[in-house]
Amino acid sequence: MEMRPVGHARTPFGDTAEVPKGHGTRHEAEGVLEILPEFAPGLQDIEGFSHLYVLWTFHRAEGFDLTGVPPTDDRPHGVFATRSPRRPNPIGLTVVQLLRVEGAKLHVRGVDMLDGTPILDVKPYLSNVPESELRRGWLAEAEARRR
Amino acid sequence: MEMRPVGHARTPFGDTAEVPKGHGTRHEAEGVLEILPEFAPGLQDIEGFSHLYVLWTFHRAEGFDLTGVPPTDDRPHGVFATRSPRRPNPIGLTVVQLLRVEGAKLHVRGVDMLDGTPILDVKPYLSNVPESELRRGWLAEAEARRR
What is the value of ipTM here, to two decimals? Answer: 0.94
Q: Which residues of B129-142 are buried (b: 16+ CB within 10 A; e: fewer)?
A: beeeebebbbbeeb
Using the Cβ of B61 and the Cβ atoms of chain A, whether some distance falls under 8 Å is answered with no
Pick the residue from chain A with its C-alpha nearest to B137.
A48
- Three-state SS across chain A? CECCCCEEEECCCCCHHHCCCCCCCCCCCEEEEEECHHHHHHHCCHHHECEEEEEEECCCCCCCCCEECCCCCCCCEEHHHCCCCCCCCCEEEEEEEEEEEECCEEEEECCCCCCCCEEEEEEECCCCCCHHHCCEHHHHHHHHHHC
DSSP bridge pairs for A2: B2
Q: Which of B90, B88, B77 shows the shortest CA–CA distance to B136?
A: B77
The pLDDT value recorded for residue A14 is 95
The pLDDT value recorded for residue A10 is 98
The pLDDT value recorded for residue B92 is 97
Please report which confidence band the pLDDT of residue B61 belongs to, taking 50, 70 and 90 as the band edges: confident
Give B88-105 pLDDT, tens digit per residue. Answer: 999 999 999 999 999 999
- Residue A126: list chain B partners with CB under 8 A: 136, 139
Percent of the residues in chain B that have a pLDDT greater than 70, as a whole number: 99
Mean pLDDT of A27-51: 96
Radius of gyration from C-alpha coordinates of chain B = 16
Work out the mean pLDDT of chain A and round it to a whole number: 94
How far apart are alpha carbons B97 and B8 in whole angstroms? 17
Mean pLDDT of A9-21: 93
How far apart are alpha carbons B65 and B63 in whole angstroms? 7
Using the Cβ of B120 and the Cβ atoms of chain A, whether some distance falls under 8 Å is answered with yes
How far apart are alpha carbons B13 and A134 in whole angstroms? 27
Weakest-pLDDT range from A8-12, A18-22, B94-98: A18-22
Give A61-111 pLDDT, tens digit per residue. Answer: 889 999 999 988 999 999 999 999 999 999 999 999 999 999 999 999 999
The pLDDT value recorded for residue B146 is 82
Task: Test B134 with A50 for CB contact under 8 angstroms.
Answer: yes
Using the Cβ of B129 and the Cβ atoms of chain A, whether some distance falls under 8 Å is answered with yes
The pLDDT value recorded for residue A1 is 78
Using the Cβ of A118 and the Cβ atoms of chain B, whether some distance falls under 8 Å is answered with yes
Specify whether the CB–CB gap between B81 and B139 falls below 8 A. Answer: no
In this complex, the residue of B49, B81, B123 whose CB is nearest that of residue A45 is: B81
Mutate which of B35, B57, B80 to test chain A, going by most A C-beta atoms within 10 A? B80
How far apart are alpha carbons A72 and A25 in whole angstroms? 10
Other CB atoms within 10 A of residue A85 CB: 21
Give A109-120 pLDDT, tens digit per residue. Answer: 999 999 999 999
The pLDDT value recorded for residue A72 is 87
In this complex, the residue of B1, B123, B133 whose CB is nearest that of residue A3 is: B1
Percent of the residues in chain B that have a pLDDT greater than 90, as a whole number: 80
The pLDDT value recorded for residue B125 is 95
- Residue A88: list chain B partners with CB under 8 A: 4, 6, 39, 42, 121
Task: Test B88 with A122 for CB contact under 8 angstroms.
Answer: no
Mean pLDDT of B114-131: 95
In this complex, the residue of B3, B67, B131 whose CB is nearest that of residue A1 is: B3
How far apart are alpha carbons B57 and B91 in whole angstroms? 5
The pLDDT value recorded for residue A130 is 87
